[in-house]
Amino acid sequence: MSRTTKSKHVMKEVLLDDLELPADNQEVVRVLASRGNNLHMVEDAAGSQFLVSVPTKFRRNVWIKRGDFVLVEPLAEGDKVRAE
Mean pLDDT of 19-26: 85
With helix as H, strand as E and coil as C, how does the chain read?
CCHHHHHHHHHHHHHHCCCCCCCCCCEEEEEEEEEECCEEEEECCCCCEEEEECCHHHCCCCCCCCCCEEEECECCCCCCEEEC
How confident is the model at residue 17, as a pLDDT? 62
Report all structural domains of the chain as residue ranges with CATH numbers, in order of start.
21-72 (2.40.50.140)
Query: Are 29 and 70 a contacting pair, CB within 8 Å?
Result: yes
pLDDT tens for each residue of 34-74:
999 999 999 999 999 999 999 988 888 888 999 999 999 99
Above pLDDT 70, what percent of the chain?
A: 94
- Whether the pLDDT of residue 19 is over 80: the answer is no
Q: What is the pTM of this model?
A: 0.78
